[in-house]
Amino acid sequence: MHYGSCLCGNVQYRYSGTIDEVSRCHCTECQKSSGSAFVAVAPIESQYFEILKGEEFLKEFRATPQKVRVFCSACGSPLYSARDDAPETKRLRVGTLDAALKPSHQYQGFVSEKASWYELSDAWPQYERFPG
């Protein structure tokens, strides 16, 4: 069981599935949406994700037609993204989890778009897009 929340605590959630994969996305959209060099996300099954508190604080933004980014309207914390053509999956922002993860599979995507000021200096596998 995984629990998480936004920065202000108005939105709280539970994920009852497993999280074995974490990726860093370096695409320019993720840089803009996070205000940083990348976002760290985990693919999760939508059926096991539940908002426990604060659904009224959730807001959506679409930078591209088929992808929604969901965030807290009070503090701005990004919580997850989802694609219209894959409603069974969400990409959870792992920084919103309340406890640390030890995923077995980690990698980086869209490394060709990485911020020029950020150095890739770890051993995570690197991909031009996302694998699979």
Residue spans of the domains in the chain: they are 2-113
- Model pLDDT, residue 122: 75
Mean pLDDT across 115-131: 75
pLDDT at 91 over 90: yes
Burial class from Cβ neighbours inside 10 Å (0-12, 13-18, 19+) for residue 72 reads buried
pLDDT bin (cut points 50, 70, 90) of residue 88 is very high
- Model pLDDT, residue 98: 94
Cross-strand partners of 82: 68, 90
pLDDT at 24 over 80: yes
CA angle 63, 2, 4 (to 5 degrees): 50
Across all residues in the chain, what is the average pLDDT?
Answer: 89
CATH code of the region 2-113? 2.170.150.70
